Structure 1
């Protein structure tokens, strides 16, 4: 039967079992010192030398010191066995030897309580009862030896030994039961601590990765904890990490007032506030506050309780962007149906306008006809973009990918795209994956790359190296195509919705280009992602927006795609 105390704490570096083991070892050393000093003083006072007893005490001191030094880090197994001989076995032998060799009235039998307690606390019930049985036999043996040496048959000595042994049995059993109960409570406490620690770590991870800000404020306006999103909403990472005073910045006054109102009314609060930092645009926030649970006056003393206010900060720009995305998605579903209906009337308008333009001579009328043509073409492009989603979803499952050379295909697409406007469409083309073969439909890859180039052209600067097209092979052996431009950083509220349909930061865009790119990439086992990347250029280190397509490894031989085999999306 294993000791519950050892089973519950054996895996811990400073377990109660280990501390008790060290305590018993130290106690044995102190008992050995006391015995040695007692014998030395007794023999000095009586002027008689009992060398065997003195030597036995000295030998016991050496044995306890050795065990304390050598075995204090490795407590023995709790079951009965030879591992207890250096401790319990030595104690029993020493006490029996002292009782046998002593010549005066001094009685050493009370020292038997030390090995009994050690076995009851640190060992199993079998070890405890076995040790107590050995002590009882020694007591009875001493009673027999005393009577034999004096030539008496002292029944009272036998009775006294039996009563003492019975008392040791009761003590051993009760102490072992108490140790077992304390071990169970210790085990429950450790499990509760582990669960609380795991829950705290999970809560911390969740809070740290929330897009919304979280602040924990006490009633003295001190921020006890804050996640990264909250620090950004408060004004950036230039402020110190918690704890810090929420009244340090005048722009945070609305948050201070809301927290104080929550403490004063002892109720949650909610409000829309603006944080006004000098020289910056106002930061609109939807703020909600919650108070920690009130104190239990029976189980929790007032001195050990402190109520806290948890403030949730929601960026209104993010909320508005989410609502706008949902509205645009709903409008897009309706627009896909409407687009089919407007294409025929729109074609008739464009054809009629072209016929009228042939007969017009007045310059003013010609300008009006040109305006009609331009806006009709724009409507046609929007209708085509809306219908592209249905085409992509219908055709994408039926198109078989070809294995193509990445560098050769990218070079051809780049030449075709730049030829339309050589002055504006300039870039650094770095083809660094000459051996890379990818599984992708040629026209689908053209659609993806052209879309990324068009987006980059819209926001990049006028430098020769404002646009960089790069192919490479990652250390893991994955081919990557990256389109980088030195445009301004994207707002986080826009970045989260880049690849959603009908989402765009511009009113003149349908918001379908990146969504179609993502759908095409997923069809061919590739992935597309956005990241803010710094590149080292001739003008220095420059930050820019990078869209990277990561291809899956090719599993087919290289094929020469035919235009007749590739449906154009």
Structure 2
């Protein structure tokens, strides 16, 4: 395999890319060592220049060899400083050149007994570290042959003692021993480094997977320091507390302060860890939230783990279970209920056709008609809950969609009275993803209610539609405002509960069904209290990148 380098050059190592990158680093270190040695040998030429004749065989060749070695090491060093990344053949050639030059210096100096022979051991060791394969053994064999050749030549040509041959043989054994030991150590180190790299990569992948899992969780998770500042949070926490989009890169810190109810709850929990914090709303349009605290570091106690749960989800699940049971019950007895209900309605219609009805009887028949229609509406709504289809989401341009909706809604019959719908668009409006048919059903419900209450209060069918972007600029919203009497504040928390109504003729399922349809499209329907006349309902859509 090949280890990539910044310049595109590679070192092909049989031990993988990690070993190749390690070879480049080690060769840099070895070249620094060569440069230092060549400088030291050059410096020694000027230390005792008058005593070299008795110790050197060929002084001129010896000095030329040292200057040549210095020039080679300086040249390679400059190339590497210029950005050259050595390949495997460059390393092998450098080791061979070192072995050849060092033995040339031994030949031209005092022979194998010279201290330069110890430098050959270092070169063989470096060759086996940089290339821990059979080629490293070749370095040891070449060095041993050169040492024996120099000693043999000295014995035969200039009558040196045979002790040089013994010393050369000892050095040869030392070369091979160095090669065997360092190859084994280098291979173990390379395998250990590769294993450590593999494990580090696995840990990094697991950390990335855990981070993605945490980011995808619908439970908000925050890590707070001892001062209550946010150290880490997932996307759900950003969305629930700060209204941030859910698919952004997670922030390592957050400069926005915690909502005051949550900050107060944190203080109360630190004073009494067994106390359960009361549910709260981060903003007037956000759902009801429940915070749970836990100590993250038991030893130091300086960080707090915070979980944020959307209570509307839990309430919704409970209500869904209740209405699912009610839907099954209603489906099973709808036929039995509708038969007598139909008989009652038919009998009332027959009585209504009688010409001899008193005024009191007419009033009673009106009550029968009204309540029969109400019972039938309740059955229809509960049946709709039990057979509701899944959302078919698509990207929608909100302003264009609202223009089409307003045009079509005006054409429906509203007691023959003209309908005034004011549309306010605050550009830019982000794109949203939802099922148009389901959200249109929500808007029809809200607009019908708004027109009815506006007419009761002002005498005219008038409502206002408004669209724009949330404070984070990433999500769209649609407001439906009427000009009726409004809803009492004590009923604000109950308007979306099933079967809650302040009217005698209502069944209390309209707003509940509207919120259910919004939740099915990952949108949120809320009642906005802006101290203005009438009611203002807001649909806040999810981030368009969020998968439905």
CA separation in 1, counterparts of 2:91 and 2:516?
Answer: 73
Cα gap change, 1:31/1:260 in structure 2, threshold over 3 Å: closer, same or farther?
farther
Offset of residue 261 of structure 1: 5.8
Uncovered stretches (5+) of structure 2, i.e. residues with no partner = 4-10, 245-250, 390-400, 424-435, 452-460, 468-475, 482-497, 502-506, 526-535
Match of 1:379 among 360, 366, 375: 375
Relative to the length of structure 2, the TM-score reads: 0.66
Offset of residue 354 of structure 1: 2.4
CA separation in 2, counterparts of 1:107 and 1:388?
Answer: 98
Cα gap change, 1:258/1:32 in structure 2, threshold over 3 Å: closer, same or farther?
same
Q: Is the CA contact 1:460–1:486 (under 8 Å) kept in the aligned structure 2?
A: no
Q: Are residue 255 (structure 1) and residue 266 (structure 2) matched? A: yes
- For residue 76 of structure 1, what is the aligned residue in structure 2? 87
Matched residue SS, 1:41:
coil
Q: How many correspondences in the alignment? A: 453
Deviations along 1:45-75, one digit per CA (max 9) or x if unpaired, are 7599944333322222222222233357534
Offset of residue 216 of structure 1: 2.6
- For residue 35 of structure 2, what is the aligned residue in structure 1? 29
- For residue 451 of structure 1, what is the aligned residue in structure 2? 441
Q: Is the CA contact 2:132–2:187 (under 8 Å) kept in the aligned structure 1?
A: no
Match of 1:204 among 201, 207, 211: 211
- For residue 424 of structure 1, what is the aligned residue in structure 2? 419
Cα gap change, 1:52/1:410 in structure 2, threshold over 3 Å: closer, same or farther?
same
Q: Is the CA contact 1:221–1:256 (under 8 Å) kept in the aligned structure 2?
A: no
Cα gap change, 1:373/1:38 in structure 2, threshold over 3 Å: closer, same or farther?
same
CA separation in 1, counterparts of 2:448 and 2:414?
Answer: 17
- For residue 564 of structure 1, what is the aligned residue in structure 2? none
Q: Are residue 62 (structure 1) and residue 71 (structure 2) matched? A: yes
Offset of residue 383 of structure 1: 2.8
Deviations along 1:458-490, one digit per CA (max 9) or x if unpaired, are 47798787389xxxxxxxxxxxxxx995338xx
Greater shift in the superposed pair: 452-461 or 184-193 = 452-461
CA separation in 2, counterparts of 1:358 and 1:146?
Answer: 141
Q: Is the CA contact 1:288–1:311 (under 8 Å) kept in the aligned structure 2?
A: yes
Q: Are residue 126 (structure 1) and residue 122 (structure 2) matched? A: no
Q: Is the CA contact 1:485–1:546 (under 8 Å) kept in the aligned structure 2?
A: yes
CA separation in 1, counterparts of 2:346 and 2:418?
Answer: 33
Q: Is the CA contact 1:136–1:161 (under 8 Å) kept in the aligned structure 2?
A: yes
Offset of residue 386 of structure 1: 4.7
Offset of residue 147 of structure 1: 0.7
> Over aligned residues, Cα RMSD in angstroms?
5.2
Q: Is the CA contact 2:2–2:17 (under 8 Å) kept in the aligned structure 1?
A: no
CA separation in 1, counterparts of 2:234 and 2:500?
Answer: 29
Matched residue SS, 2:509:
coil
Q: Is the CA contact 1:270–1:288 (under 8 Å) kept in the aligned structure 2?
A: no
Q: Is the CA contact 2:499–2:509 (under 8 Å) kept in the aligned structure 1?
A: no
Offset of residue 324 of structure 1: 1.5
Offset of residue 8 of structure 1: 6.2
Within 5 Å, give how 1:91-240 maps onto structure 2.
91-102=98-109, 106-152=114-160, 154-217=161-224, 223-230=230-237
CA separation in 2, counterparts of 1:261 and 1:392?
Answer: 45
- For residue 298 of structure 1, what is the aligned residue in structure 2? none
Relative to the length of structure 1, the TM-score reads: 0.63
Matched residue SS, 1:200:
helix
CA separation in 2, counterparts of 1:390 and 1:336?
Answer: 9
- For residue 25 of structure 2, what is the aligned residue in structure 1? 19
Runs of 4+ in 1 over 6 A off after TM superposition: 1-5, 243-248, 276-282, 389-393, 409-415, 447-450, 459-465, 502-506, 510-519
CA separation in 2, counterparts of 1:460 and 1:466?
Answer: 11
Q: Is the CA contact 1:216–1:311 (under 8 Å) kept in the aligned structure 2?
A: yes
CA separation in 1, counterparts of 2:208 and 2:271?
Answer: 29
Q: Are residue 486 (structure 1) and residue 479 (structure 2) matched? A: yes
- For residue 473 of structure 1, what is the aligned residue in structure 2? none
- For residue 393 of structure 2, what is the aligned residue in structure 1? none
Offset of residue 116 of structure 1: 0.9
Q: Is the CA contact 1:129–1:173 (under 8 Å) kept in the aligned structure 2?
A: yes
